[in-house]
């Protein structure tokens, strides 16, 4: 009897660890973003981006809208090194309403090809509660830098 209990307990622990996500929000947010850098931090004091998004917010599976983010970070790192994202603010706006908050923390990793892998943890403050993750790419290979990625849990 004890033999069956130990594997069951181990399976429960494994499932709990695998399914745990430190960033959860209400409403659920799972959207793709695409945009441009309006102003670099060196000029504006924060890197400012605008663009569009599409995806799921709450129970709506296809929501389209606009996003804006103003993010502060340490100096851009040399190839294959990382810099910290230290704060900022963000907003998603659609016909269904607005969701906004602050950038808690994150990293910029220089891929060595004038692109950066971006991770940021976002806190909701208006239109919801909780946290969401941003994973994306900042591309400095174009005249106006672009950003693409996902906001998800």
Non-local (6+) Cβ contacts of 14 within 8 A are none
Q: In which residue are the tokens 């993010």 written? A: 71
The pLDDT, as a whole number, for residue 52 is 98
Q: What pLDDT does 79 receive?
A: 97
Rounded Cα distance, 146 and 140, in Å:
7
Give yes or no for a contact between 153 and 132, defined as CB atoms under 8 angstroms apart.
yes
- Measure the CA–CA gap between 136 and 77, rounded to whole angstroms: 16
Which segments of the chain are extended strands (E)? Answer: 25-26, 29-39, 47-57, 60-73, 82-94, 97-110, 115-126, 129-139, 146-152
pLDDT at 129: 93
What pLDDT shows up at residue 22? 55
Kindly indicate whether the domain formed by 21-152 is annotated with CATH number 2.40.160.
yes
Contact 110, 81 (CB under 8 A): yes
Residue spans per domain, the chain: 21-152
Tokens 């709450």 correspond to 58
**pLDDT for the residue numbered 110:** 98
Tell whether the torsion through CA atoms of 16, 59, 148 and 103 is positive or negative: negative
Please list the pLDDT of the chain residue by residue as tens digits (153 residues).
444 443 443 333 333 333 334 577 889 999 999 999 999 999 999 999 999 999 999 999 899 999 999 999 999 999 999 999 999 999 999 998 999 999 999 999 999 999 999 999 999 999 999 999 999 999 999 999 999 999 998
């Amino acid at each position: 009897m004890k033999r069956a209990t130990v594997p069951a307990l181990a399976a429960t622990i494994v499932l709990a660890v695998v399914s745990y996500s430190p960033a959860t929000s209400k409403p659920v947010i799972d959207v793709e973003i695409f945009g441009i850098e309006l102003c670099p931090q060196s000029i504006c004091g924060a890197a400012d981006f605008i663009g569009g998004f599409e995806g799921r917010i709450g129970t709506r599976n296809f929501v389209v809208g606009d996003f804006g983010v103003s993010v502060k970070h340490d100096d851009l790192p040399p190839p294959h090194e990382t810099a910290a994202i230290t704060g900022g603010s963000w907003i998603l706006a659609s016909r269904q309403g607005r969701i906004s908050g602050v950038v808690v923390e994150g990293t910029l990793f220089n891929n060595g090809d004038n692109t950066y892998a971006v991770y940021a943890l976002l806190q909701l403050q208006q239109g919801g509660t909780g946290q969401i993750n941003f994973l994306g790419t900042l591309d400095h290979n174009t005249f106006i830098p672009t950003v693409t990625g996902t906001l998800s849990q």
